[in-house]
């Protein structure tokens, strides 16, 4: 049976997660975002669908610590998915700058960015990830580093 993949995006608001998804992961992955779905129950339903159908998916939430990521990783591993984390090192000033260009519900209060940065913990293999990739922004493009 073909392996499928679950990607967990990890980063503070404004770090580039959604833009990265658009540029690198669409349309190959089912896109799951709490910002779009608005409720945890809708998110859980779509996630369960992806696992049942063995459909590769990307979870585009902040997922700033192991507790938040634990909502997805064990279930994906149990379903047989390869589990990958893409994480964006917190750069509060750059994130606030990108956030300032947002409008409507996309824009978050600046204090949220600082709060999430203070609580951010990079993903690690002990959480169950098969691969961990660090993403940085280099000018107008993304640079991805594989971590061992």
Task: Give me the chain's average pLDDT, please.
Answer: 95
- Reduce the DSSP state of residue 109 to 3 states and report it: coil
Q: How many domains does the chain fold into? A: 1
**Phi and psi, residue 31, nearest 5°:** -95, 125
Left, alpha or beta for 105 (phi > 0: left; psi -120 to 50: alpha)?
alpha
Query: Domain containing 54 — which CATH number?
Result: 3.40.50.300
pLDDT at 104: 92
* Predicted TM-score (pTM) of this structure: 0.94
- The predicted-structure confidence for 88-115, as pLDDT tens digits, reads as follows 999 999 999 999 999 998 999 999 999 9
**Phi and psi, residue 94, nearest 5°:** -65, -40
How far is the C-alpha of 40 from the C-alpha of 24, rounded, in Å? 25
Local confidence band at 8 (pLDDT 50, 70, 90 cut-offs): very high
Which residue range(s) make up the domain with 85? 5-147
pLDDT score of 83 more than 90: yes
Local confidence band at 148 (pLDDT 50, 70, 90 cut-offs): low
């Amino acid at each position: 049976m073909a392996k499928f993949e679950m990607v967990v995006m990890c980063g503070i608001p404004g770090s580039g997660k959604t833009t990265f998804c658009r540029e690198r992961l669409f349309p190959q992955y089912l896109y799951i975002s709490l910002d779009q779905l608005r409720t945890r129950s809708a998110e859980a339903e779509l996630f369960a669908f992806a696992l049942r159908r063995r459909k590769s998916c990307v979870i585009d939430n902040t997922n700033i610590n192991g507790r938040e990521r634990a909502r997805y990783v064990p279930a994906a591993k149990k379903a047989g998915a390869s589990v990958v984390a893409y994480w964006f090192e917190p750069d509060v000033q750059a994130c606030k700058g990108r956030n300032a260009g947002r409008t409507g519900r996309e824009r978050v209060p600046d204090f949220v960015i600082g709060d999430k940065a203070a609580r951010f913990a990079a993903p690690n293999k002990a959480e169950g990830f098969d691969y961990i990739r660090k993403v940085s922004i280099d000018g107008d493009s993304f640079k991805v580093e594989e971590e061992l």
